[in-house]
Amino acid sequence: MKPPRFSAADRRFMARALALAERGRGTTNPNPVVGAVIVRGGRIVAEGFHRRAGRAHAEVNALGALRGGARGTTLYVTLEPCSHTGRTAPCTEAILAARPGRPARVVVGCRDPNPIVDGRGIARLRRAGLRVDVGCLEEECRAAIAGYAIWVREHRPLVTLKAAATLDGFIAETASRRRRAPVWITGRQARRAAHELRATHDAILVGAGTVRADDPQLTVRLPGRRAARTPLRVVLAGRRSLPKGARVLDGAAPTLTIRDPTGRVAVKPALEVLAARGIQSLLVEGGAAIHGAFIAAGLVDRVALFLAPKLIGGGLPVASGANLSVARALSLGPISVRSLGPDLLLTAEVTRR
């Protein structure tokens, strides 16, 4: 079938639905964020989004906010309506049962990657005679649920590797210097962006080496803003116990320590443990050995690298221990660059071959 074309108005309404979806970010887990708007005569007449698992889905909330019936309306929804009974009834049936009158058209951002939906919701609506156009702002809609998509298909969270480095690629001074109190590599704006990054992840992970060297708290601290949720703190530990009084164990947020008798936790099973707890997005915050372990396992989806305009000529690199050949390197797609005061934030996605 020829892919439908979408007008500028379609894209504008879908962009609004995407913005609504974001309001659920952090509270819908393990469900994806979803937004919906209903348009009549070129104007938005109802809006909805999914706020929490077990509560109404975005389409049902939008239909519930609609006055004067659905006849002749267009429903825009960022994700394919569900067709199965989970904790709530299927949205396809709510759309078909809308009274008086059904929507004239349903515009869907992207298909639901969940194998139990995956096109069935769209097929159900079409079978019932509705016009359904799929793929409006598809890339953006997919990106909004990237963590959910990996979780539901691969049973692991989406992994973002994050580090702050000098321009010559070092995340810390040499061990002899490191014994003193840790120093910030990047400036205030970059550190704020790092906390914003934490706020969009379900969990934050570090290695025992980082706990010993920096004693990080691994909480979201954004002045003037209450975080929507507290990410789970995860430590990959070796055989040694963590220092008594380490701030990751302070109870400010839940902490999970994963150990392995060999002293090297295997990355894939650790990710499966996290996925089983509903973790769909994981921010890996170092140090070098842990970054190396994720790179060696090929389990990195995104990179967020803060670069400070400093040269130290030696120290601990961003990652160590994997030593892949250039031919087997994890390759990244286009790098996007953001200036944060004197620092840069480089972000990119790993391209799967």
Ligand X SMILES: NC(=O)c1ccc[n+]([C@@H]2O[C@H](COP(=O)([O-])OP(=O)(O)OC[C@H]3O[C@@H](n4cnc5c(N)ncnc54)[C@H](OP(=O)(O)O)[C@@H]3O)[C@@H](O)[C@H]2O)c1
Residues 6+ away with beta carbon under 8 Å from 312 = 166, 168, 170, 173
Choices 53-61, 134-142, 187-195, 209-217; region in contact with Zn ion by CB under 5 A: 53-61
213 belongs to the binding site for ligand X (CB under 6 A): yes
Q: Which has the closest alpha carbon to 346: 197, 232, 212? A: 197
Residue 64: C-alpha distances to residues 68, 69, 76, 86, 166 (Å): 11, 10, 15, 19, 52
Interface of this chain with ligand X, residues 165 to 184, rule: CB under 6 A: 171-172, 178, 182
Q: Which of 79, 82, 98, 107 binds Zn ion (CB under 5 A)?
A: 82
Neighbours of 278 (CB within 10 A): 15
Q: Could you say which of 59, 80, 173, 349 is catalytic?
A: 59
162 belongs to the binding site for Zn ion (CB under 5 A): no
Site for ligand X (CB under 6 A): how many residues? 30
Cα 106 to Cα 245: distance, rounded to the nearest angstrom? 55
15 belongs to the binding site for ligand X (CB under 6 A): no
284 belongs to the binding site for ligand X (CB under 6 A): no
Instruction: State the minimum distance, in angstroms, from the CB of residue 153 to ligand X.
Output: 24
Choices 64-72, 114-122, 164-172, 225-233; region in contact with ligand X by CB under 6 A: 164-172
Give whichever of 111 and 198 is closer to Zn ion, judged by the CB atom: 111
Residues 6+ away with beta carbon under 8 Å from 183 = 173
Give whichever of 82 and 274 is closer to Zn ion, judged by the CB atom: 82
Residue 304 contact, options ligand X, Zn ion, none, Cβ 5-8 Å cut-off depending on partner type: none
191 belongs to the binding site for Zn ion (CB under 5 A): no
Q: Which has the closest alpha carbon to 159: 236, 222, 242, 226? A: 236
Interface of this chain with Zn ion, residues 57 to 76, rule: CB under 5 A: 57
Q: What is the DSSP letter of 263?
A: S
Cα 287 to Cα 290: distance, rounded to the nearest angstrom? 5
| Residue 326 exposed, middle or buried by CB count within 10 Å (0-12, 13-18, 19+) | exposed
Give whichever of 144 and 197 is closer to ligand X, judged by the CB atom: 197
Residue 57 contact, options ligand X, Zn ion, none, Cβ 5-8 Å cut-off depending on partner type: Zn ion
Residue 203 contact, options Zn ion, ligand X, none, Cβ 5-8 Å cut-off depending on partner type: none
Over the window 227 to 266, marking each residue x when it contacts ligand X by CB under 6 A and - when it does not, the resulting string is ---------xxxxx----------------------xxx-
Structure tokens at 151: 């979780």
Residue 285 contact, options Zn ion, ligand X, none, Cβ 5-8 Å cut-off depending on partner type: ligand X
Q: Which of 287, 301, 304, 330 binds ligand X (CB under 6 A)?
A: 287
22 is catalytic: no
Structure tokens at 261: 């008798």
Output the DSSP codes for 86-98: SSS--HHHHHHT-
Residues classed as catalytic:
59
